[in-house]
Amino acid sequence: MMLSRPLHRLLPLRQTPVLLALFWLLLAVTGPLIAPCPPGEVVSSTVFAPISSTHLLGTDYLGRDVLSRLLFGTSSTVLLCAVATVMACSAGTFLGIMAALKQGLTDTLLSRFMDGVISIPSLLSGLVAVATFGSSVPVLVLAMACIYMPGSYRTSRMLALSIVRKDFILSARMRGEKTGYLVLREILPNMTGPVLADVGLRFIYAVRLLSNLSFLGVGLQPPQTDLGSLTRENLLGLVYGAPAVIAPALTIAILTVGLNLALDGKGQRQ
Amino acid sequence: MTARLGEAIALRVGASLVSLVFVVVAVFFITSALPGDVAEALLGQAATPDAIAALRHSLRLDQPVLLRFAGWAGGLLRGDFGTSLVSHQPVLSMVHDRLLHSLLLAGITTLFAVPAALLLGTLSAIFRNTVFDRTISLLTLCVVSVPEFLIATLAVLVFAVELHLLPALASISDIHSIGSFLAAFSMPVATLGCVIVGQMARMTRAVMVNVLSSSWVEMAMLKGVSPAFIILRHVLPNVIAPLFNVIALSLSYLLGGVVIVESVFHYPGIASLMVDSVASRDIPLVQTCAIIFCAAYLLLTTLADIVALCSSQERTRT
Amino acid sequence: MLNRRNMIKQGAHLAAASFCATQSWSGTAFATASNSSVSNQTGPVPRTGGHVRAASTTGSLSDTLDPARQSMATDYMRGNMFYDGLVTLDETLTPRPALAESLESTDFKTWHIRLRSGVCFHDGAPLTSADVVYSILRHKDPTVGSQVHYQAMAMRTIRADGPLDVIIELDTANITFPSVLGLTNFAIIREGTTQFDKANGTGPFTCAAFQPGVRSLALRNANFWNPGGVWVDSLELISISDDMARHNALLSGDVDIIAAVDPRLVALVRKRGLAVMESPTGTYTNLAIRQDVGPGRNADFIRAMKLLFNREQMRDSIYLGYCRMGNDQPLPPEHRDFNAHLPQTRYDPEQAKFLLRRSGYLNQSLPPLICSPAANGSVEMAVLLQNDARRIGLQLDVRRMPADGYWSQSWMRFPLGFGNVNPRASADMTFALSFASTAPWNESHWRNAQFDQLLVLSRSEPDEAKRRALYDDMQTLIHTDAGIAIPNFITSLDGYHPRIRGLRPRQGGQLMGYNFARSIWVDETDTAGGQP
Amino acid sequence: MSLLPPTAPPPLISVQNLSLTGHRGRGPETPIVTNVSFNVAEGEMLALIGESGSGKTSIALALTGYARQGCRISGGTLRVAGHDVLHMNARELHAFRGMTIAYIAQNAGAAFNPALPLMEQVIEPALVHHIMPRKEAVEQAIALFELMALPSPHTIGARYPHECSGGQLQRIMAAMALITEPEVVIFDEPTTALDVTTQIEVLEAFRLAMRQCGFTGVYVTHDLAIVAQMADRAVVLKNGTVQEEGSTGQILTAPTQPYTQALVAASEPHTRNHDPAPASAPLLDVRDILVGYGGTTPEGRPVHTILNQVSLPVLAGETMGIIGESGCGKSTLIRAIAGIQPWSAGSMMFEGQPLAADINLRSPQQRQHLQLVAQNADLVLNPAMTVQATLRRVLTFYGEDASDNAIRHILDMVRLPAALASRLPTQLSGGQKQRVNLARALAARPRLVLCDEITAALDTVVAAAILDLMMELKRELSLSWLFVTHDLHALRSVCDHVAVLYAGHCVEFSTITALQTAPHHPYARKLEASVPEMRPDWLDNILRQHGLKQDKSGPAPASGCSYMPRCPVAAATCALTPPPVWQAPSGAFIACHRTAQELS
């Protein structure tokens, strides 16, 4: 009993979202291992080749195997965006709830700061961050986390504002509970649904920002790649209906839509 | 009561100004910290150390950062946004046209996207948890998740290249009639619409579901008021504030976040100006653009908050 | 090695010959040169009129009408519409007179320029020597930010010698000086011009509108001094940096001409009844291995890297065959000074592995391979190179840099980095700017005294055959010693609607060396969409 | 099932074998109402009696052909005034609702659109059914406002809902229902959310309207005393099935079914507090507490006062009751004692130590020994925490034994089975939630428990059980309770001492025994008289006594007695000087200008 409870709390998601997330994580980890070819290997003299038995998803704009690159791309997209989103949302949610809880100066200062950050277009912030600190995976993750934190902050602050007025917060405060406990144990569990839905949306944005950054030349370093850049670098293949461009775009859609629907479902059940 | 409202509004506006000042200062120092400067960017491949040094000196880039900030901020207070380091033209005159173009595109997109999003969101809320609702939810998610350059390119391939119905570019200079105006704007607007309608519809649905489950909506139904009438007369006045917030957030995206649509359709808007100015390290221009985006965002959200303040003032028991 | 005495003797001998050469340059080639592109054309006779819309690749805020600051293809194209140089370069990069009627020198150090008379600027003012002196002198002013500051600094004095005569004195003799003046940046502007929101040149078009990064509109200059030098009534030039969008604009008929067709779309464009012009140019993307720091100090390492380039594969997968094989020296096969006797470097991983092992770098961590979308194709090359290196057990990290700031921040600063060089006006310029020990853009920081000496010799060698021999030796030196790997020369591909006539390949670069505006004409009778 | 005599006219409302089903969240469909049948004759008023969850509101809504989101009418027939309700299309339903049948909702504050003026909403039924032109509708509405004895009937329609009191809104809603002169009016607990003093006014208005308009009615309520006043016949529901049906008199006086009997028994007032507290030193001593808002005047007093120099001793082991209508400051007092409402003057002593105004400045021991149980258990229990998690946190926080055993013990204390420990609050019934709420406070091992209207949201039977529990705990744990309520019955049954609060003043303070005997403060008497009784003639008697009065209200005098505007025995001095406090022979302290004789 002592064990089963916290475990259940730790995994607020039930069935579908958990399975889905596990599936993508599994794919992210094993993808590079099961890829038939190295991601940089030119395997065919035909570019934008259609689906064939040798190259299940055809070849890309340089004649590389799309399936292999897709597996590598999925891996880095999922891992990078997941880490960035989780970082952004945990920090944003914590601060948002704290601002709602503390009110007053803390709230004002934090909110003004976040409003300022959010008002700068995300692509610009990303560009500047990478231009200043160089392009590496930690910088990318941190930049994306910083860019999406204010949005998460805003959402959770709004959500928390209605919760902090509830009497159970009052009674916990009367007991003399610390802020950390109030935020994490009393308030957060009551907004997991909307927060998770928010996480899903932010994940979409992160995938998108990553691809835009990659396109502007500040994203992942070759031979690493992500789904957005795979779509983008093979965009010319669109005129030939090449799987090289369709496959990554579809993967993005399946990844993000599936995750969001699952998280939404969770939110509605709450 | 009105005095209290006025005070609340003044507080909100003041808070936004604080954010704006924060951004102004932050943007200056962040852009100053960017590697490279306009002298190097201008000379590009032809740069030699002494040429760079001379150009830097002539552009006063060799002054200390704080001195430059003081000069620039001083000008800003007098309403002078400075001169472009690249073109030597006043920044405001460079921004002027681009901003108008962006506002035009944003305006038209709003005109179509907002009603569409409100309609979709409202319908989803009315028929919540039905097949219709789930379908809309799925579709909007799909549209949001597909990168916009793909949507834009696909649209161009189909409508411009294959069908020859619409021009592939939205060139402002080619617009001479209503027809050409519609033709030029239809695809950029549709692409942008795809990006924001999904998000707006989802948020609208959430707001609507909340209101539709209130007991006064039930009461109106029990009075024999038809659903359409309930939405128009009873629900709308109550959701204006939250919906305005939804719209404000989407609109601020329409100014700053449309780089890709601008570049695919060759539309001279302010977002691409900003990316350009970052690339050429034209700091005064970068700062002006940043201030514009920030001000637009803050203006919209402040407006939304004020609308909320006014309507909640009307409602809350005091 | 030549001794000093020989040099002087030869110099004296050459001086007389060169005078003749110069004379012949200004005399015989003169009549046909100005509209050679048209006169050589077979088929229908060009006609005047029509509006043309062209889309180039790059465009930004930095777009400028100041010839000194023009640095991108779009700028060059625009500059060539509104301005004339003293000299223009033809399809084989041979200098031809433009605003200069003659260009003479006996010692190749002091050049006497006689201007064409009766040429007027767009504002009606006549062209005088003062304009030329002003136009050239301003490149020496560092605050102008001129792209040819370095070349201008080699001119010791520039002075007027009468209303239509200018005398330019160089620091050292340079027989290829006319080519220098052929650079677009050395276009002639009105004396005293400091504002460039409008273009006031002598060129075939007047500037009706100009918005940096967006578009420019050029109207035919009715008073253009060369009656056969311009055909279309108006020309709108826009820049679409998004590849797909640019192609779509051509395919949908929104524009008539686009620069830089992607090799992958050539077949599609042609299938749709549109034309693609293939221009072999000297543009190349290269790996520069710095020879003053890092592994580049080891000759074996450099040799190995050159052998590691799978040139055939790069040709087929990056350029889809639209390129010519490079041989680690900067002149393309079609160049008149190309050294055809050099053995071709080929992909040889085994030999590369052997050399790497011998140099001790096989199992060492190497500095990253710097590349950027700014250098056309360099990211793809880097990735392919990385993959081939992996196969022989060499671990190469690729670091892709943002396009903006690449040239100032990254290029030439890292031990292993990619660069991209457009065709220079002459072999001399290529050698002097990129390979001489004192060259400002010596990418591999290569120092070779013999090469420097050959360069000096060649500059005062009036005999073409002898000069070519010197050039051959210099190419050999670069091929074997310099830390430069040039896998391919890129063929420029430009797409256009078949009703646009007059486009012919030039070695100077895409769209007729950025100078298509003067040659194109609209064939309204052509509706069939056949190949021109 | 009532058998109608053959000569009787056909019933106006006929419900046959009605069944309703619904989902809870995304759970499976479960029955809400099964096989309910009843008839209502023309001009008759039928009461639907039941507790929460009995399906009474669902049945009432079903009469209008409406089922809430997630619910549906799954079977049976419904005939209302000649309409086959279940077989009407959407258009017919719109014409039917508001026209033939009107609905008066429980919470008028929520049932009015906050963004529209009241008049717009009141005349809406007339307009959407095209009964009369707008001008006429407005006149009709004003006439109804007058009938409903609303203050300033000509201008009240221009107000927004938040500008009216709950009682006024409830009457305006009745006007809105009656404007189309419907044949059937459904009253869905229309007075449950109101104070007793307001309730009586609303009931009076309803009674008058019934006489004048002559509609057929269905009155949904859980309050048997109200049934006695309003209804001719009654149907008792439990868990969606009919328990008993009969005339009001029979149901209230001679119920046949055990459930009805239990209901009637719970409604009878009786004393639960069998062990009066021994006299002892005060555990909590509240002295001259002054609470206000809106800045301070030059004299250092708040611009608006909520509590005006209230003093209150709570003895160890006793139950102290505070009664008053909404807005009298009783919750503020509780909050001040709990340390979450700052006060501007006065002091408090707890366990002999001064009690700081700010909870953060109180000692851990004080925090532990003083526990608050708030009104709404839904808000007090964290919906995301199980019962045992909630309790365990309190135990660990105060360093108590937090084992499963200890939790079981505490649950046992509030008479809850240990199996409930792993449930979430949403999986509990209202009574269970309130017990957990109590358990949460008890887990801290308090000396004094502050109870803020803890029975207000509960059904009668459940509330009675909670009161019983309170008294048992008082005995077992020798706890002190501070019990705030607006329910005089509840107060009487559990308290040792009672304080009557009016507009921030303590107008009467007495022992519970003294409360039974005169004299009393006029407000206390009014409270007493307003509590509905089971006698069917109770409302008629009151009406006969003083006729239908308009809301007596007005600004309280700046100095002087705040009850003056409403006081039936007010004199000129009342407006000028604050009332003196004197002790009645019964031992009660009364703040009034009148003498004991005058008030007897």
Q: Which of the pair, D407 or A119, is modelled with greater confidence?
A: D407
Confidence band, pLDDT 50/70/90 cuts, at residue A1: very low
Residue of D57, D113, D178, D187 to mutate, interface with B, max B Cβ within 10 Å:
D113
pLDDT score, position C40: 47
Confidence band, pLDDT 50/70/90 cuts, at residue C103: very high
Chain C residues with CB inside 8 Å of B51's CB?
Answer: 142, 145-146, 149-150
pLDDT score, position D196: 82
Neighbours, chain B (3 or more CB pairs < 8 A): A, C, D
Q: Which two tokens stand for residue C139?
A: 């490149």
Q: How do residues D322-333 score in pLDDT, each as one tens digit?
A: 998 887 888 889
Predicted confidence (pLDDT) at residue D53 exceeds the cutoff of 60: yes
Give the closest of C262, C317, C386 to A63, CB-based: C317
Q: Is D394 on the interface with A (CB under 8 A)?
A: yes
Q: How do residues D527-574 score in pLDDT, each as one tens digit?
A: 888 888 888 888 888 777 765 454 455 667 777 888 888 888 888 888
- Min mean pLDDT across A43-47, C492-496, D43-47, D513-517 is at D513-517
Q: How do residues B108-150 score in pLDDT, each as one tens digit?
A: 998 899 899 989 998 998 888 788 888 888 888 888 888 888 8
Residues 6+ apart with CB under 8 A from D545: none
Predicted confidence (pLDDT) at residue A49 exceeds the cutoff of 60: yes
pLDDT score, position D566: 81
pLDDT score, position C38: 42
Same fold across D13-109+186-267 and D282-516: yes
Q: How do residues C413-453 score in pLDDT, each as one tens digit?
A: 899 999 999 888 899 999 999 999 988 889 999 999 999 99
Q: How is domain D282-516 classified at the CATH fold level?
A: Rossmann fold (3.40.50)
Q: Is D112 on the interface with B (CB under 8 A)?
A: yes
Is residue B278 assigned to a domain? yes
pLDDT score, position A2: 41
Which DSSP category does C368 fall into? Answer: -
Q: Is D340 on the interface with A (CB under 8 A)?
A: yes
Q: How do residues D371-382 score in pLDDT, each as one tens digit?
A: 988 877 778 888
Chain B residues with CB inside 8 Å of D111's CB?
Answer: 215-216, 218-219
Is residue B299 assigned to a domain? yes
Predicted confidence (pLDDT) at residue A5 exceeds the cutoff of 60: no
- Min mean pLDDT across B259-268, D290-299, D382-391 is at D290-299
Q: Is C375 on the interface with A (CB under 8 A)?
A: no
pLDDT score, position B314: 57
pLDDT score, position C531: 40
Contact assignment for C149 to B51 by CB distance below 8 Å: yes
Confidence band, pLDDT 50/70/90 cuts, at residue C43: low
Max mean pLDDT among B233-237, C96-100, D268-272, D290-294 falls in C96-100
Instruction: Supply the range of the domain harboring residue B127.
Output: 95-309
Q: How do residues C295-327 score in pLDDT, each as one tens digit?
A: 999 999 999 999 999 999 999 999 999 999 999
The CATH code of the domain that includes A259 is 1.10.3720.10
Q: How do residues C46-83 score in pLDDT, each as one tens digit?
A: 889 899 999 998 888 888 999 999 988 899 999 999 99
Q: What is the mean pLDDT of residues B210-227?
A: 87
Considering the domain D13-109+186-267 in this protein, what is its CATH number? 3.40.50.300
Give the closest of C61, C217, C440 to B87, CB-based: C61
Q: What is the mean pLDDT of residues B33-54?
A: 77
Task: State which amino acid sits at residue C470.
Answer: L
Distance of CA A113 to the CA centre of its chain: 23
Contact assignment for B36 to C244 by CB distance below 8 Å: no
Q: Which of the pair, A20 or C177, is modelled with greater confidence?
A: C177
**Which residues share a beta bridge with C112?**
C104, C167
Q: Is D572 on the interface with B (CB under 8 A)?
A: no
pLDDT score, position D432: 87
pLDDT score, position A210: 84
Q: What is the mean pLDDT of residues D576-598?
A: 85
Confidence band, pLDDT 50/70/90 cuts, at residue D220: very high
Chain B residues with CB inside 8 Å of A207's CB?
Answer: 145
Residue C25 to residues C28, C33, C87, D501, Cα–Cα distance (Å) = 6, 10, 12, 115
Residues 6+ apart with CB under 8 A from B314: D114, D115, D160
Predicted confidence (pLDDT) at residue C487 exceeds the cutoff of 90: yes
Distance CA D401, CA C398 (A): 61
pLDDT score, position C2: 35
Q: What is the mean pLDDT of residues C341-367?
A: 92
Domain total for chain A? Answer: 1
Return mean pLDDT, chain D.
85
User: In this prediction, what percent of chain D has a pLDDT beyond 70?
Assistant: 95
Give the closest of A41, A127, A221 to C400, CB-based: A221
Q: How do residues D127-171 score in pLDDT, each as one tens digit?
A: 989 889 999 999 999 998 988 888 888 888 888 888 888 888 888
Predicted confidence (pLDDT) at residue C478 exceeds the cutoff of 90: yes
Q: Which of the pair, D104 or C32, is modelled with greater confidence?
A: D104
Is residue A208 assigned to a domain? yes
Confidence band, pLDDT 50/70/90 cuts, at residue C362: confident
**Distance between B300 CA and the closest CA of chain D, angstroms:** 23
**Distance between A85 CA and the closest CA of chain C, angstroms:** 24
**Distance between A22 CA and the closest CA of chain B, angstroms:** 20
**Distance between D97 CA and the closest CA of chain B, angstroms:** 4
Residue B53: which H helix or E strand, with range? helix B49-58
Q: How do residues C504-530 score in pLDDT, each as one tens digit?
A: 999 988 999 999 999 999 988 765 444
Is residue A112 assigned to a domain? yes
Q: How do residues B71-86 score in pLDDT, each as one tens digit?
A: 888 888 888 888 888 8
DSSP assignment of A144-156, as one string?
A: HHHHHHHHHHHHH
Distance CA C252, CA B158 (A): 10
Cβ within 8 Å of A, C 257-296 = 262, 264-265, 268
Chain A residues with CB inside 8 Å of D454's CB?
Answer: none
pTM of the model as a whole? 0.81
Chain C residues with CB inside 8 Å of A130's CB?
Answer: 402
Predicted confidence (pLDDT) at residue C224 exceeds the cutoff of 90: yes
Domain total for chain B? Answer: 1
Q: Which two tokens stand for residue C80?
A: 């060539």
- Min mean pLDDT across A39-43, C191-195, D40-44 is at A39-43
Confidence band, pLDDT 50/70/90 cuts, at residue B2: low
Return mean pLDDT, chain C.
87
pLDDT score, position C291: 94
**Distance between B135 CA and the closest CA of chain D, angstroms:** 18
Max mean pLDDT among A196-200, B188-192, C274-278, D10-14 falls in C274-278
The CATH code of the domain that includes B231 is 1.10.3720.10
Contact assignment for B199 to A212 by CB distance below 8 Å: no
Q: State the virtual CA torsion across D399, D403, D408, D409 in degrees, nearest 10.
A: -50
Distance CA D179, CA D171 (A): 12
Distance CA B286, CA B275 (A): 8
- Min mean pLDDT across B248-257, C179-188, D401-410 is at B248-257
In chain D, where the domains are located: 13-109+186-267, 282-516, 529-599
Closest residue of chain D to B235, computed from CA coordinates: D113
Q: In angstroms, what is the C-alpha Rg of chain A?
A: 21
Q: How do residues D192-205 score in pLDDT, each as one tens digit?
A: 878 888 888 888 88
Instruction: Supply the range of the domain harboring residue A72.
Output: 17-28+54-269
The pairs formed by D409-418 with CB atoms below 8 angstroms and a separation of 24 or more are D410/D439, D410/D442, D410/D443, D411/D387, D411/D439, D413/D439, D413/D442, D413/D473, D413/D476, D414/D438, D414/D439, D414/D442, D414/D469, D414/D473, D415/D469, D416/D387
Q: What is the mean pLDDT of residues A219-238?
A: 87
Q: How do residues A63-109 score in pLDDT, each as one tens digit?
A: 999 999 999 999 999 999 999 999 999 999 999 999 999 888 888 88
- ipTM higher than 0.90? no
